[in-house]
Chains A and B, each alone.
Chain A
């Protein structure tokens, strides 16, 4: 089983829709969780950290479910500029590194 798994998509949704995707991780003792955004042929950029209590940043909401070992990202009122690949990132225990998921490709259509 992969350490971090994401549905690669692609997800195609109309502008203004709400879209959500999940990411599962294999090690229950993982400590840190992040969502990154990567535009085509660009470097990944930190979108948000994911906290146990869940957190919101404008139209974006991230949640962590430790019991089921997944994190989620919800995008409300999606914009054309939200089109990108979203990477789920996890820090396994006792590892001084992050593990990146394959990414979920999202396209927002006008």
Chain B
């Protein structure tokens, strides 16, 4: 079945450590997105990519980095510079570059050890 796969489902980070969240899609979508959601809050855009080898900062990009070397993959690295990384991270993709609906993976919960 086509869809978006995020891994791992749960992740724990130690102080000073970088961690990478995986996002893979087999929907042949051009656009991919990373969001952060804190408890009781809405989604905030971290980074997005409309095409391979290109990406743009969202509203809260500081402390995060991404790459888009393949159409189907858009990994997010949470660096040690992100001082409050505990959150629910959601990856999404859309066939339409921004205009159409987005489809989400089932998320990664990141916590600090």
The residue in A34, A45, A97 that gathers the most chain B C-beta atoms within 10 A of its C-beta is A97
Interface residues of A (CB under 8 A from B): 31-32, 34, 41-46, 49, 87, 89, 91, 95-98, 100-103
Top 10 closest A-B pairs, CB basis? A96-B98, A43-B104, A102-B42, A100-B43, A46-B101, A96-B97, A43-B106, A32-B99, A100-B42, A43-B107
Bound form: Cα–Cα A95–B56 in Å: 11
Contact residues, B57-84 vs A (CB, 8 A): 58
Knowing A87-B42, A100-B43, A102-B42, the reply to whether A95 touches B98 (Cβ < 8 A) is yes
Interface residues of B (CB under 8 A from A): 31, 33, 35, 41-43, 45, 48, 50, 56, 58, 88, 90, 97-107
| Residue in B41, B45, B101 whose beta carbon sits within 8 Å of that of A97 in the complex | B45
Q: A31-B99, A42-B106, A44-B43 are in contact. List 20 more A-B contacts (CB 8 A).
A: A32-B99, A32-B100, A42-B107, A43-B90, A43-B105, A45-B104, A46-B101, A46-B102, A46-B103, A49-B101, A89-B101, A91-B99, A95-B98, A96-B50, A96-B56, A96-B98, A97-B45, A98-B98, A100-B42, A103-B42
| Residue in B31, B42, B97, B99 whose beta carbon sits within 8 Å of that of A101 in the complex | B42
Q: Which of chain B's residues have a CB closer than 8 A to the CB of A42?
A: 106-107
What are 10 of the A-B contact pairs (CB < 8 Å)? Answer: A43-B106, A45-B104, A46-B101, A46-B103, A96-B97, A96-B98, A97-B45, A97-B98, A98-B98, A100-B42
